[in-house]
Amino acid sequence: MANSVRHFFLPTLNLWFGIRLLLVTGAAIFVFTQMLVPLRIEGRSMEPTYHDGSLNFCWRWRYLFSEPEHGDVVMIRFAGRRVMLLKRIVALAGETVAFREGLLFVNGRKVDEPYVKTSSDWQLDTRTVEPGKVYVVGDNRHVAMNRHLFGQVERQRIVGGILW
Amino acid sequence: MVTGKSVILALAVVIGATIVAFLYWPHDKRAIGKQLTLLEVKGSKEPTEQPVETLLKSKQIAGLFRDPCRFTVAASDFSGEYDRKQIMDRITMIRSSWSRMRVRFYDISIDFPEEKTAGLIMTVRLNGMNGNDALADTQEVSATLRKIEGDWLFTSVRIEEVLQR
């Protein structure tokens, strides 16, 4: 038993160990750059669902075989993947979006948003989401509308979904 | 007599020289990178910064732009050319309105569509304080630079519209 524990922590440096080390390193790099990208959330635009400073993962294969849907929380890239936006999809291409006294209306119907815990006074005239785009908003509507980053974004900018 | 040790030593010297040459050989991507680093350093501000320092930094930043330089803001359909003095005044005004400011560039991508011309795409992140208010802004910026008298200068800057209301 003591021998196997010692062997686990202090393995013999032979060819087989080198191969195992390479495989594990390669697998870790693949998983954490192409599948589950670690991320630290900065800012309060998705509160109370996601808090400033919390850690999570971007599940990059989320939309490999499916398309984004209403309510999905997605990562949106800028020039690359080092800084991304975390937002919730509220409308899809071809649908209309509006805010009246802080309430969200999609295709003229009020949307029930249990994830929004604060009241707001947002007013936004009706607009139609263009083809190839989705409409995203943060959960924290307590912020003044002109200080909140939201709107329609190209589908190709969605990097993946948040893991939990 | 050539021994194993001397071969390894020669290889180590060649590899070392290659790394040093790669790191210190002047080339255009590195020169543009230096301009961006200067922009990050001079753009950032501490609360202790004096007005004279603000003016000096604004002048240094303005010196990175061609006279005139075109600025475009896609979200507001705005586009206009500014000379260096106007750029300096605008930078001074923006920096003076923030008590603390941090400028960082991420995901920098540089290509050279033609000789002495570079295209640049990057994410710009601004963090800071305005009085007691914490402010943060992130934008995707694309720019064109030209090599003028040995220096890479911004000739056009465009703030892209990632989210369109």
Give the model confidence (pLDDT) of A124-163 as tens digits: 999 999 999 999 999 999 988 988 999 999 999 999 999 9
Interface of B with A in 129-158 (CB under 8 A): 136, 138-141
With CB atoms and an 8 Å threshold, state whether A80 touches B109: yes
Find the CB nearest B163 among A79, A127, A151. A151
Which is nearest to B105 in space by CA: A78, A14, A151? Answer: A78
CB neighbour list of residue A113: distance below 8 Å, 6 or more residues apart: A104, A139
Q: Which residues in chain B have their CB less than 8 angstroms from residue A136's CB?
A: 163
**pLDDT band, residue B130 (cuts 50/70/90):** confident
Distances (CA, A) of A70 to A17, A137, B164: 48, 11, 18
Nearest chain A residue to B106 by CA distance is A82
Q: What is the pTM of this model?
A: 0.84
Q: What is the pLDDT of residue B2?
A: 62
ipTM over 0.90: no
Q: What is the pLDDT of residue B26?
A: 60
CB B108 within 8 Å of CB B76:
no
